[in-house]
Amino acid sequence: MRIAIIGAGPAGFYAAEALLKRTDTVIHVDVFDRLPTPYGLVRAGVAPDHPSIKAVTRVFERTAERPNFRFLGNVRLGRDLTVEDLRQHYHQILYAVGNEADRRLGIPGEGVAGCTPATVFIGWYNGHPDYEQAQIDLSVTSVAVVGNGNVAVDAARILLRTPAELEKTDMASHAREALRRSRVREVYLLGRRGPAQAAFTHIELKELGELEGASPVIDPRELADCGSAEALGNTPSDKSLRILQSFAARLPVSGEKKLHLRFLVSPTQVLADAAGRVTGLVLEKNRLEAHPDGTIAALGTGETEILRVGLVLPAIGFAAEEIAGVPYDGRTKVIANENGRVVESVSRSAIANEYVVGWARSGAQGLIGKHKGASAQVVDLMTADGAGLEARALPEPEAIVSLLRGRGVRVVSFSDWKQLDEVEVARGARRGAPRDKVVALGAMLDVLGQA
């Protein structure tokens, strides 16, 4: 049985592992990725100052070493390859393409240059080739990060780290250098609901109080007034709430950078000068309303203020990119599916032999470890549906590689990636970092050409 997985992030790798462990039939797995590098957001999303999380790549490496595994990097579905090509060359297809588009605030002024989705900032500091040329203006002194999830926390923390804290990380060199020269002193983390509804986790929140050169600031009245704890029936034992209360009780340390945690505010307009530079953000004060279904919504009160900032980073969630030939659910912004089986967008009828895992299936929620079980569940469906499919004769395994080469694609194998990996690790070792990433696509392919 030959199976194509599109996307070499955690969901794709965990699915490959589950497939290659099957004993009922011999499975060959080809994992495609649009980048020459594997591991998806483990390489390009997880914060550089959280190196232990990236150790999961050792598990994925062991999967890649299995005899029936092939990595075909630098191949983009929808550009280099079509869904029809995949149908011809494989018995089953599994999409694991993540959520690579960002959600928008939908407010006036959002399009100006200084209002940049956090995705761009994160991809830029993590050395994702798409964002190599991104312009992040760190000559400003104040930045607003919109959202109260862990991505917003990552962005805020990285903006406030000292150069020494970043030196030993695998952050892309261009970003380390730019952050070393950064003039940012004040970062505002803006939640539209209250602390009890914040999506960030308490471990990430606690870390904000342990930065070398920055302190968290919360107006105790705002924390007390916001009423969100009562609205949810939370008690002060709630870990995040207790951490926030300890932040609120701190005395400001003079000379330190500040992280202002604000709640119950929604941006309603990005203000910019005639040259298109951000000058501020109009914030509307919110109140909470409990709905009969148990959800708690933020409602604008009409009361506004202007927050003077020079850069706005919305970190308000993600959406799957639309790929030609792959059904898309416009409402949930993921690949149209029923429990991992791909379905037609409108009729919702199942498309035979096509499946989806990871964030492309469920949206951008959840940590890396969650994909192990979730991908294995979809593999169970593939097993149940796939009995006898292997009887269908397919082109030789090399035919897909020849097809791609014929289209001018430089296919990157796993051993190619290992060469690039070695180069990056050796470059990083010179400054005591886990790696120094090669960022530009062309530069990656050059390294492989020379190796």
Ligand X SMILES: Cc1cc2nc3c(=O)[nH]c(=O)nc-3n(C[C@H](O)[C@H](O)[C@H](O)COP(=O)(O)OP(=O)(O)OC[C@H]3O[C@@H](n4cnc5c(N)ncnc54)[C@H](O)[C@@H]3O)c2cc1C
Ligand Y SMILES: NC(=O)c1ccc[n+]([C@@H]2O[C@H](COP(=O)([O-])OP(=O)(O)OC[C@H]3O[C@@H](n4cnc5c(N)ncnc54)[C@H](OP(=O)(O)O)[C@@H]3O)[C@@H](O)[C@H]2O)c1
**Residues of the shown chain interacting with ligand X in the complex, contacts defined by CB under 6 A:** 6-12, 32-35, 40-41, 45-46, 50, 53, 76-78, 96-98, 100, 122, 151, 154, 323, 358-360, 366-368, 371
Which of residues 273 and 338 has its CB atom nearest to ligand X in the complex?
338
Which DSSP helix (H) or strand (E) runs through 283?
A: strand 278-290
Length of the chain: 451
C-alpha to C-alpha distances, 177 to 115, 166, 171, nearest whole angstrom: 21, 10, 10
Query: Residue 376, exposed/middle/buried by CB under 10 A (0-12, 13-18, 19+)?
Result: middle
Give least dist CB 118 to ligand Y, A.
8
Which of residues 19 and 41 has its CB atom nearest to ligand Y in the complex?
41
Residue 115 touches ligand Y, criterion: CB under 6 A: no
- 9, 38, 129, 317: which one contacts ligand Y (CB under 6 A)? 317
Q: How far apart are CA 129 and CA 133, in angstroms?
A: 8
Residue 150 touches ligand Y, criterion: CB under 6 A: yes
Q: By CB under 6 A, how many residues form the interface with ligand Y?
A: 24
Residue 400 touches ligand Y, criterion: CB under 6 A: no
The torsion of the CA quartet 63, 33, 147, 155, rounded to 10 degrees, works out to 80
Closest CA to 365 of 174, 48, 103, 113: 103
Q: How far apart are CA 418 and CA 191, in angstroms?
A: 41
Read out DSSP for 350-361?
EEEEEEE-THHH
- 192, 257, 260, 361: which one contacts ligand Y (CB under 6 A)? 192
Closest CA to 129 of 56, 42, 34: 34
Residue 316 touches ligand Y, criterion: CB under 6 A: yes
CA 272: distance to chain centroid?
28
Give least dist CB 311 to ligand Y, A.
17
Residue 286 touches ligand Y, criterion: CB under 6 A: no
Helices and strands of the chain, counted as H and E runs: 17, 19
Chain residue whose CB lies nearest ligand Y: 149
Residue 244 touches ligand Y, criterion: CB under 6 A: no
Residue 101 touches ligand Y, criterion: CB under 6 A: no
Give least dist CB 190 to ligand Y, A.
7
Which of residues 264 and 379 has its CB atom nearest to ligand Y in the complex?
264
Copy the structure tokens of residue 104: 């928008």
Mapped onto helix, strand or coil, the DSSP state of residue 239 is helix
Residue 146 touches ligand Y, criterion: CB under 6 A: yes
Residue 317 interacting partner from ligand X, ligand Y, none (CB closer than 5 to 8 Å by kind): ligand Y
Angle at 117 between CA 114 and CA 120, to 5 degrees: 95
Residue 80 touches ligand Y, criterion: CB under 6 A: no
Give least dist CB 35 to ligand X, A.
5
Backbone φ and ψ of 122, nearest 5°:
-70, -45
Residue 100 touches ligand Y, criterion: CB under 6 A: no
Residue 300 touches ligand Y, criterion: CB under 6 A: no
Residue 204 interacting partner from ligand X, ligand Y, none (CB closer than 5 to 8 Å by kind): ligand Y
Residue 28 interacting partner from ligand X, ligand Y, none (CB closer than 5 to 8 Å by kind): none
Give least dist CB 439 to ligand X, A.
14
For residue 258, count other CB atoms closer than 10 A to its CB. Answer: 16
Region from 89-97, 189-197, 210-218, 440-448 binding ligand Y, contact rule CB under 6 A: 189-197
Name the site residues for ligand Y (rule: CB under 6 A). 105, 146-152, 154, 191-193, 197, 199, 204, 266, 315-318, 364-367
